[in-house]
Chain A
Amino acid sequence: MERIPILKMGSFLLVTVQVDMHDQLAMNLQSDLTDKIVSAKARGVLIDISALDIVDSFIGRMLGNIASMSRILDAETVVVGMQPAVAITLVELGLALTGVRTALNIEKGMDLLRASIG
């Protein structure tokens, strides 16, 4: 079974999406990540989508869901590395990704997470 690997870095989880995900893979990532947040007692989730050329409404919704769920599980989610073309397309598509915090790159994402956790 295909999986997107989830790495643990201290109290953060790092997910680097390297492949163009089909819908089921995106759903798997969503459930894996929530499980992992609980089992690893993670306080923050960093999702790197710099390798993604396309983020359509389904993946966008999945990112939003992850952010909402992890917040309920007491973890912050930061999506980093979104390509400009993707950002533009998302906005044009009408997807605002409200509730999803973003950062330009992993470094900044980390800073953001550390700051928010305190």
Chain B
Amino acid sequence: MSFAVISVRIQYEHDVVAARQRTRQIAQALGFEPQQQTRLATAVSEIARNTLVYGGGGKVEFLVEGTTSPQLLSIVVSDKGPGIPNLDEILEGRYCSTTGMGLGIVGAQRLMDRFSIDTAAGKGTTVYLGKLLPRRAPLVSAKGVSEMTERLAREKPKDLLAEFREQNQELVRTLDELRRRQDELISLNRELEDTNRGVVALYAELDEKADHLRRADEVKSRFLSNMSHEFRTPLNSICALSRVLQEHTDGPLAPEQEVQVSYIRQSAESLTELVNDLLDLAKVEAGKIVLHPVDFEVNKLFGALRGMLRPLLAGVSVNLVFEEPRSLPLMYTDEGKVSQILRNFISNALKFTEAGEVRVSAQYDDADASVVFRVQDTGIGIAAEYQEIIFQEFTQVDGPIQRKVKGTGLGLPLSKKLAELLGGSVSVESKVGIGSTFSVRVPKVYSLAGHVGLVEPPIQVEPSRLPVLLVEDHDETRLIYQKFLGSSRWQMIGARSVRETENILRNVRPVAIVLDIMLQGEDSWNLLAKLKSNRETSSIPVLVATTADDRGKAMALGADAYAAKPLTAAVLLEQLAAWTGVDLTRTVLLVDDQEVSRYLFKQLFSQRGIRFLEAVHGAEGLRVARQEKPDLIIMDLTMPEMNGFEAIGGLQADTALRHIPVIVATSRTLSAEETSQLAGRVAAVLPKASLSEHGVKRRLRAILTQAGLADLLPDPKTASQTAAE
């Protein structure tokens, strides 16, 4: 009966140490005295070393044999090495080791009670070591052995080397994997680069083509507009001369001649119409058409159209019906252009309708805040395949009726272009023989940026600024106010309508409200009254800025100030300053080595409330700028110590100074390189020669307005028009 305790693998030198330490632990646990523990450990150390050195590694097994006292501790050390060729010599002590003391086996034999060796060439060696447990030691049972095994397993000495080795191998594997991936990436990258080069080349080609097209288009537009002008002059002469002839100023015409002249005049007039259409188209394409958005009502537009088109109805058996528009909002867009589009549609409809009616209607579409105008006829209709091309220039559908009526083929393309200019679109629905419906969709409110209908981003009140609510429906005016407030202490929050204002007031409490009275399709008198009667909002000061001349009414409703539009920067800022107690004093830093230049600038800003700081070179300028944080810096370029370029670089590098607008004033002519160096870093470059010119103030004002510093140099003309309470 034997109980296996543990076994220790011998693979590295450390394992020899581990084996002898294990031996000591087991011997101690089994009740051997310290002297015996040392003997056992020493013997195991000798044999284990032989196993490692000669056998190439093996294992040491510990067993407890027997169930009666004294039990035997049996240690089996085995390897699969080449065996021991001269065992007899060794055992007789005749062998002389070249590596050790030649004592291992013999010594171990002396230290143990039992010792035997099994060895065979090529089959390995097994050494059996045995030591009887002391008589006084308690009997070891199977349970005791398993407990001991567990305890020993827990105390397993850490084989650092093996652990290192394992981790090392892991590392090597990971590195290999990484290298493989890197190779893959490199090849992938190379592939991508190649593709990229191809794409870049293609892009360049495309760019070139686009450029060609753009140029060709431009040439076409220019040609059209020039030619049209050239055509118009002789045409006008022909018309005028034929009229003279028809009026018999220089003697009467024969009846036949009368007819001939009237044909000449008709032809000339139709040619003029053609040229006019061409000219319009060329203008649209060249972007030269200026839109004049105004507030208007659709039924008034319909009234005007009815009057204008009456002559066309003479001798035609077609009814022109304008449906009375219902619940349409006030529109703010270019009325003339809308009218032009509708005139085109209607005259087309009349041309191609032989009998029946042409019906004009308008409808408001809530979904995208647009008005859709429809011109419906009962004419010949347009086949599906032609519905696209009729909006292209110089196309006309071929057919008997088409041939009968004259036309330039430019009306629909022009309508399309105009509708797009207004931010809208045109479309057609048609069935051959039944009729066509042309529609134009025009946004209710024309907006510069064309962003009507977009969802506005939520309002973010910057913590360092005071919110000012600006109720103004006109985009451009709002933009101007935004410029006025610029980088000042006040942050503008815009609202277009009463509803929007109320929404904003629910979330933001402004320090002041600037209120326009005439809004799209509504006025804000009620809003003003409501603001002032509500306990929560009554304390917010309101500046009424309007074209409606009704100061008394505004003040009676509780307005705190009244100003006629247009509002100037000075009026707005001073009013806000008075209400919010913000110091309006502006600081201007003049960096110039010439005293005369600095003086000239100070003269330019001949206005109270501006503090001037002066510096004679860039380094000083930078230092003053850091200290004082001016609102504006005027910088010369050629200076001693540190020139303007370096100083501007220094300003750019400082996050606290980067946002300060810089105007470069120089008498140098800048090279292209210098200009590009300054581009984006300074607000403007002002030649010093222009300081003596007449328009310099206007120019400077434009620059300052752009930089959000309009109040530095207010316009004296507009300033006198407005007044604040």
Contact = CB atoms under 8 A, between A and B. Distances in A.
A95 B42 CA distance: 12
A92 interface: yes
Contact of A22 (B13, B42, B103): B13
A57 B35 contact: no
Contacts of A93: 42, 46, 103, 107-108, 110-111
Contacts, number: 75
Nearest to B20: A54
A57 B100 contact: yes
A13 B711 CA distance: 89
Nearest to B52: A23
B259 to A, nearest CB: 123
Interface in A28-75: 53-58, 60-61
A21 B101 contact: no
A85 interface: yes
B49 interface: yes
Interface in B20-41: 20-21, 24, 34-35, 37-39, 41
A57 B17 contact: no
A92 B107 contact: yes
B20 A55 contact: no
Contacts of B13: 22-24
B14 interface: yes
A20 B110 contact: no
B106 A94 contact: yes
B378 to A, nearest CB: 105
Given A54-B24, A54-B45, A93-B110, A85 B16 contact: no
A93 B40 CA distance: 11
A89 interface: yes
B32 to A, nearest CB: 11
A55 B101 contact: no
A112 interface: no
Contacts of B49: 23, 56, 58
Nearest to B15: A22
A115 interface: no
B618 interface: no
Contacts of A84: 35
Contacts of B17: 20-22
B45 to A, nearest CB: 4
Q: Residue among A20, A57, A92, A95 with the most chain B CB within 10 A?
A: A57
B104 interface: yes
A56 B49 CA distance: 10
A62 to B, nearest CB: 10
A39 to B, nearest CB: 27
A30 B618 CA distance: 73
Interface in B44-63: 45-46, 49
Contacts of A15: none
A56 B20 contact: yes
A55 B21 CA distance: 12
Nearest to B161: A22
Contact of A57 (B24, B34, B37, B107): B107
Contact of B41 (A24, A54, A60): A54
> Is the contact region of chain B dominated by helix, strand, or loop, or is it mixed?
helix
B110 A22 contact: no
A57 B46 contact: yes
A20 B104 CA distance: 18
Given A22-B13, A23-B49, A94-B106, A89 B100 contact: no
A96 B539 CA distance: 110
A70 B101 CA distance: 20
Contacts of B108: 93
Contacts of B16: 22-23
B103 A55 contact: no
Contacts of A20: 17, 20-21
A85 B34 contact: yes
Contacts of A86: 38
A58 B21 CA distance: 16
Interface in B85-119: 100-101, 103-104, 106-108, 110-111
Contacts of B39: 85, 88-89, 92
Contacts of B41: 53-54
B38 A95 contact: no
Interface string B344-372: 00000000000000000000000000000
A53 B37 CA distance: 9
A1 B79 CA distance: 29
Interface of B: 13-14, 16-17, 20-21, 24, 34-35, 37-39, 41-42, 45-46, 49, 100-101, 103-104, 106-108, 110-111
Interface of A: 20-24, 53-58, 60-61, 83-86, 88-89, 92-95
30 contacts: A20-B21, A22-B17, A53-B24, A54-B20, A54-B24, A54-B38, A54-B41, A54-B42, A56-B42, A57-B103, A57-B104, A57-B107, A58-B45, A58-B49, A58-B100, A83-B38, A85-B34, A85-B35, A85-B38, A88-B35, A88-B38, A89-B35, A89-B38, A89-B39, A89-B42, A93-B46, A93-B107, A93-B108, A94-B106, A95-B103
Q: Which 8 pairs between the two chains have the least Cβ-Cβ distance? A: A93-B107, A85-B38, A56-B45, A22-B13, A85-B35, A57-B101, A57-B103, A22-B17
Given A53-B38, A61-B100, 19 more contacts: A22-B13, A23-B16, A23-B49, A53-B41, A54-B38, A54-B45, A57-B104, A60-B101, A61-B101, A84-B35, A86-B38, A92-B39, A92-B110, A92-B111, A93-B42, A93-B108, A94-B110, A95-B101, A95-B107
